[in-house]
Structure 1
Amino acid sequence: MNRRDLFRASTAIGATGAVAGLAGALPAAAATTATAAGRPSAPAGSPLRVHIVMFDGVEELDFAAPYEVFSAARFFTGRPVEVRYVTTSRPGFVRASYGSRIEVGHAWAPDEADVIVVPGGGYARREDPGVWAEIRRGTLPRALRAAPREGLTVSALCTGVMLLSAAGLTRGRPCTTHHKARPDLEQQGGVAKNARVVDDGDLVTAGGITSGLELALWLVRRELGADAATGVEAMLEYEARGTVWTR
């Protein structure tokens, strides 16, 4: 364990007492968890696999916030959590909206994911790298269109929802996005809801650049249980805000 993980683990133990010991066995009660909807989750030995989609022009906070939340969630659940950055291009470096260079070591593999998270970025600058460039290129929308299967949740936040729209995944379904992209979402057939997070089962969307925190915290709550979500909130000293719309 590196020093950063050790600090986080110590914070997690102090905040909730939910972790019995990182090197020891978890309590028997942690062998399984329940989702927010009350249905049993996968067995503790089966990891929650989260893939965050990366592309040139992606907004830094859009991908970093979900990565942090899902990665921290492993301290508060008996179920392993695996988080990776993936790309429909060749693995390597992407340059984010504000110039950060992020190494993406994994290729697109939706059959190996339980949750896909699509960030946004660059929607206001149509000629620059970002969502519009990915829509024009077509590779990512086609990959998203082919991804849905039983057991997979496709999610997106901010203008990343417009990549789902380009893939036809939001047509006729409740969803949300950044307020400036909402007219486009509705024009393309999305049923926009005035909510921070919209959960339509296997399609979960969130609106606004900072909504990656709410999106990830909601999915942690749904997939790993309320204790995991509140544990992450205590660790990050952040409380999820806004309305979550569900059926």
Structure 2
Amino acid sequence: MFDGVEEQDWVAPVEVLSLAGRASGGALTTTMVTTGRPATVTCSYGTRVEVARGWSPHEADVLVVPGGGYADQAGPGVRRLIADQQFLRRLAAADVLHVGICTGVMVLSAAGLTRGRNATTHTAARADLAAQGATVVNARVVDDGDLVTGGGITSGLDVALWLAERFLGARVTQRVETILEYERRGTVWRA
């Protein structure tokens, strides 16, 4: 979580993964974190969220990086994360499943995690992703092993449902889809 984060990019994964955790009897837990210290984060449309924890690379198996603010070079959003070399080094060194939603993928790219890899991002950032060495796949969700990426803003729903299926199976995931009254769109592109 960071100032300028797109609401839908993080709300959808938190909702889906939290429901999957409940549906699986706690086999999965979800924690919102900031890039540094606990803080109040102001999202792209003004929603304010208290985030009680800072990110520690050793406390998670999966890290979901949402997007937001990519088009605004000077404002809050992913551009500030991309400029934070210390954070990018921590991100690149983390032994986690790296997951990017929308332009959060561009943060993973800035950390060198998409170079030579199959990935997708928001349509407005795909040319930049390709220029940074990724093999851009025109898909809503791309699973390249230890890197999972999602396209535009609402793809966070589909990415999180894919993660639930990948780790907890189809039965739990179908239950979550039923509760949300949402069916995944498209096929997950897998390497």
Spell out the pairing of 1:171-210 with structure 2 (5 A cutoff). Answer: 171-210=115-154
- Normalised by the length of structure 2, the TM-score is 0.96
- Normalised by the length of structure 1, the TM-score is 0.75
Residue from 103, 108, 111 that aligns with 2:58 = 111
Residue from 199, 211, 226 that aligns with 2:170 = 226
CA shift, 1:137, in A, is 2.8
Quick one: distance in 2 between partners of 1:94 and 1:75? 26
Which residue pairs with 2:31 in the alignment? 84
SS of the residue corresponding to residue 126 of structure 1 reads: coil
CA contact (8 A) 1:88 1:143 kept: no
CA contact (8 A) 1:76 1:227 kept: no
Quick one: distance in 1 between partners of 2:86 and 2:109? 14
CA shift, 1:75, in A, is 3.1
In structure 2, runs of 5+ residues without a counterpart are: none
Spell out the pairing of 1:145-184 with structure 2 (5 A cutoff). Answer: 145-147=92-94, 149=95, 152-184=96-128
Quick one: distance in 2 between partners of 1:80 and 1:226? 14
1:211 has 2:155 as partner: yes
- How much identity, in percent, do the aligned residues show? 58
CA shift, 1:74, in A, is 2.2
Which residue pairs with 1:120 in the alignment? 67
Quick one: distance in 1 between partners of 2:161 and 2:55? 24
Which residue pairs with 1:38 in the alignment? none
CA contact (8 A) 1:79 1:224 kept: no
Q: Work out the number of aligned pairs and report it.
A: 191
Quick one: distance in 2 between partners of 1:158 and 1:140? 19
Runs of 4 or more above 3 Å deviation: none
Per mean C-alpha deviation after superposition, the further-off stretch among 104-113 and 174-183 is 104-113
Superposed CA deviations along residues 183-224 of structure 1, whole A, max 9, x for unmatched, are 000000011111110001110001000010000000000000
In structure 1, runs of 5+ residues without a counterpart are: 1-53
The letter for the 1-side match of 2:60 is: A
Superposed CA deviations along residues 150-174 of structure 1, whole A, max 9, x for unmatched, are xx31101100000000000000000
CA shift, 1:78, in A, is 4.0
1:135 has 2:79 as partner: no
Pairwise CA RMSD: 1.1
